Structure 1
Amino acid sequence: MRASVSTAQDLGMPAIYLHLLAELLNTIGVDEQDLLLRVGLDPARLQSTDLRVSQTQASEFVTRAIIESGEPGLGIMLARELKLPLHGALGTAVMSSRTLGDAMELMTRYLTLRVPHLQVCKRETGKLAWYIVSCDIDLGPLHGFIMDAMLFGCVSMGAQLTGSVVDGLRIVRRGAEPAYFHRFRPQIPVPVEFGATENALVIPTARLDLPVRFTDDQLAASSKAQCEEALRQLTEDAGFACRVRRVIETSHPFPPKLARVAGTLFVSERTLKRRLQEEEASFQQLVDQVRLERAQDLLRSTGMNLSQIADALGYADAANFTRAFKRWTGASPSHYRSAPTRSASTPAERSLATG
């Protein structure tokens, strides 16, 4: 029996994908800001290419988006918006590959970075390469959305890489054709066949030698190294403290209450505290880590005054924020803002980061 979204290991979902979906909802008349806030997500934080959103929150947002928009084909619509640079280091590595086959090999290895719990397995039969997509958890009603975005997104990205839709490419899908699909079929530039036993991209093996338009060997090597490091880090970040931190990082209002974070992760407050303690962490420590990072970013990159920053970080006034910042860094916010770019953290910052 496969785990469900709420019980599986939560590796998070890149925030930028939810930002794209929110923008898409806006174009079809859905109040995406209200929907995000009801799920407890901060719309401004989703534009980051680095942050990841808790899978439970991502699942809730997508499910509500489908229901409130009345559009079960949102995954196909989102696929059109998936430009390669939005996929972080993986997108860069794919774009700088030499051939389409090299790009597909990278996607097969590093897909977990972008869509946790999906795997791609390559199988060759005759003159065809089958890239079979499977999932190790029960996605429930999200399954169709995820597969639509993944498979049709690959068609679009193949065209971005080679300059045109890959000749001979087709998609096969498990199960019967959904009722909504006939509305989208005329817009999809490749054959789509339902009733198969698996979900897959099928590509003539000769097409795997197609050159990529943006080939850059040096960039490909550095981007692949980034993907390897990100995959290692993601595996290490699979602990419970990292799951809690992801919720804190993208929460609205900020900082979130312990009770709401516990509810988001489907545990009791007592269990949340106990599991953090087992990893030598605490809820307040994680909140303060995120607060420090946000404070430093706001001081460096905005003209907000201390009262505005204090309010954004959930402090009653600038004085309370200033005291906390001095405790974390040994410097006042004003001094930090005016100082040259710093190359190393202070002992207090390192202590806060490590607990």
Structure 2
Amino acid sequence: MSERTTSASWAMGIVKALELEGLDCPALFRQLGLDFSALDDPDARFTQDSMTRLWTLAVEISGNPAIGLNMARVVRPASFHVVGYALMSSRTLAEGFARLVRYQRIIAESADVSFKMLPEGYGLILTVHGDHLVPTRQSAEASLACALSLCSWLTGRSLQPRKVLFQAPEPVDLEPYRRAFHAPMAFSAAHDALIFEPADMEVPLPTANEAMAALHDRFAGEYLARFAEGRVTHQARQVLCRLLPQGEPKREAVAQVLHLSQRTLQRRLREEGTSFQALLDDTRRELAEQYMAQPQMTLLEAAYLLGFADPSNFFRAFRRWFDTTPGEYRTRMLGVEAAVSDARTPACTAPAP
């Protein structure tokens, strides 16, 4: 079975966070049977389960269940591999987070990240998966604290989210969380997330550089292509994107394009933690989100491009994905974008010469 992995860059961030607690990380790595010297290799990777064991051992030794929040104090773009530099050269945080979603698997395969407009603002939503072990709360909390710290680092100012959501139950001691996030918090939530003011996500970044952003996109894309080329999930998703405009793709058709039997395709998808039906649904959901951001595309066109012969099936699926109709979702999205645009537009403009 192919196990989910984490980049050495992210693992190094975890190590620095644990060292702030006074822990002997080389000893922890030896105890867990991990190669500490691999942290110096930017292309090295550790399994997600090994990072879960590292967090568990660190909490046990330190006695600090909020130890994951330490990562906010050590985060730099380098902690995110080449993705960090792609974020740094983005025009805005919104553009940077879109890149984070696109390239997340370079940092850690174990995390699913989405960045979307919600009723209360822009949401950076995180779900951490394990293979044989259930991920620790410290893993998700470290990621949220890191993301917020990176926002402040990139903008050059203290940025406070509108709200922070945690899947884990409320801890006994809330003080470390108040210091880390300075925002209203909700525990036992449906997912881990940072909710931001729309205007904060659209402020120009002082480090923005269009040429460097294009260069980093190319590096990240090449790395991701090398990294993903052997994974059937990635290959099947590409085939689905090509076939969807022709109608709902069947497993047999995708398997045929990949030169696999249906049984082998299903087995390999299962080994990578998904199924054909789940992959089809995820691909449609991601494309639907992109299509709703294109005002010139009609809802009927979006339905057919997603392979729905009956538009009513598209509307039902959309409501299941986003708990709203496509029309309401698009109206809300365009409303947020218009509000942000208005906030950036001067009250008066000089007449044209």
Structure 1 residue 164, shift from structure 2 partner? 1.3
Q: Give yes or no for contact 2:127–2:140 (8 Å, CA) kept in 1.
A: no
Which residue matches 1:95? 88
Give the partner amino acid of 2:107: R
1:236 aligns with one of 223, 229, 232: 229
Structure 1 residue 26, shift from structure 2 partner? 3.6
Secondary structure, counterpart of 2:221 in structure 1: helix
Give the partner amino acid of 2:227: L
Q: Give yes or no for contact 1:175–1:197 (8 Å, CA) kept in 2.
A: no
Q: Give yes or no for contact 2:115–2:125 (8 Å, CA) kept in 1.
A: yes
Structure 1 residue 135, shift from structure 2 partner? 3.6
Relative to 1, partners in 2 of residues 1:45 and 1:26: Cα closer, same or farther, differing over 3 Å?
same
| TM superposition outliers: structure 1 runs of 4+ over 6 Å | none
Q: Give 1:201-212 correspondences, 5 Å limit.
A: 201-212=194-205
Give the partner amino acid of 1:50: D
Structure 1 residue 187, shift from structure 2 partner? 4.1
Secondary structure, counterpart of 1:129 in structure 2: strand
Relative to 1, partners in 2 of residues 1:14 and 1:203: Cα closer, same or farther, differing over 3 Å?
same
Structure 1 residue 127, shift from structure 2 partner? 6.0
2:206 counterpart of 1:213:
yes
Equivalences, count: 232
Looking at structure 2, the residues matched to 168 and 54 of structure 1 have their Cα atoms a distance apart, in angstroms, of 31
Deviation readout 1:239-281 (Å, 9 max, x if unpaired): 9xxxxxxxxxxxxxxxxxxxxxxxxxxxxxxxxxxxxxxxxxx
2:71 counterpart of 1:78:
yes
Q: Which has the higher contact order (CA 8 A, sep 6+)?
A: 1
Looking at structure 1, the residues matched to 56 and 34 of structure 2 have their Cα atoms a distance apart, in angstroms, of 14
Q: Give 1:30-109 correspondences, 5 Å limit.
A: 30-109=23-102
TM-score by length of 2: 0.59
Relative to 1, partners in 2 of residues 1:88 and 1:183: Cα closer, same or farther, differing over 3 Å?
closer
Looking at structure 1, the residues matched to 134 and 175 of structure 2 have their Cα atoms a distance apart, in angstroms, of 19
In structure 2, runs of 5+ residues without a counterpart are: 233-353
Looking at structure 1, the residues matched to 118 and 48 of structure 2 have their Cα atoms a distance apart, in angstroms, of 35
Q: Which moved more, 1:129-138 or 1:96-105?
A: 129-138
Deviation readout 1:264-310 (Å, 9 max, x if unpaired): xxxxxxxxxxxxxxxxxxxxxxxxxxxxxxxxxxxxxxxxxxxxxxx
Deviation readout 1:74-129 (Å, 9 max, x if unpaired): 21112321211232210010000011110111111111211212112233234612
Which residue matches 1:120? 113
CA-based RMSD of the aligned residues comes to: 2.5
Q: Give yes or no for contact 1:79–1:153 (8 Å, CA) kept in 2.
A: yes
2:163 counterpart of 1:170:
yes
Give the partner amino acid of 1:41: L
Structure 1 residue 56, shift from structure 2 partner? 3.4
Deviation readout 1:114-173 (Å, 9 max, x if unpaired): 121211223323461222222454685533111101111111011111111335543122
Q: Give 1:145-184 correspondences, 5 Å limit.
A: 145-184=138-177
2:137 counterpart of 1:144:
yes
Looking at structure 1, the residues matched to 120 and 36 of structure 2 have their Cα atoms a distance apart, in angstroms, of 46
Secondary structure, counterpart of 2:81 in structure 1: helix
Relative to 1, partners in 2 of residues 1:184 and 1:174: Cα closer, same or farther, differing over 3 Å?
closer
Q: Give yes or no for contact 1:19–1:43 (8 Å, CA) kept in 2.
A: no
Give the partner amino acid of 2:90: S
Looking at structure 2, the residues matched to 10 and 140 of structure 1 have their Cα atoms a distance apart, in angstroms, of 11
Looking at structure 2, the residues matched to 213 and 186 of structure 1 have their Cα atoms a distance apart, in angstroms, of 26
2:142 counterpart of 1:188:
no
Looking at structure 2, the residues matched to 198 and 160 of structure 1 have their Cα atoms a distance apart, in angstroms, of 25
Relative to 1, partners in 2 of residues 1:187 and 1:119: Cα closer, same or farther, differing over 3 Å?
closer
Secondary structure, counterpart of 1:30 in structure 2: coil
Relative to 1, partners in 2 of residues 1:61 and 1:174: Cα closer, same or farther, differing over 3 Å?
closer
Q: Which moved more, 1:70-79 or 1:182-191?
A: 182-191
Secondary structure, counterpart of 2:136 in structure 1: helix
Secondary structure, counterpart of 1:29 in structure 2: coil
Give the partner amino acid of 1:223: H
Structure 1 residue 11, shift from structure 2 partner? 3.7
Which residue matches 1:226? 219
Which residue matches 1:253? none
Structure 1 residue 224, shift from structure 2 partner? 0.9
**Identity among equivalent pairs (%):** 23
Looking at structure 1, the residues matched to 220 and 183 of structure 2 have their Cα atoms a distance apart, in angstroms, of 30
In structure 1, runs of 5+ residues without a counterpart are: 1-6, 240-355
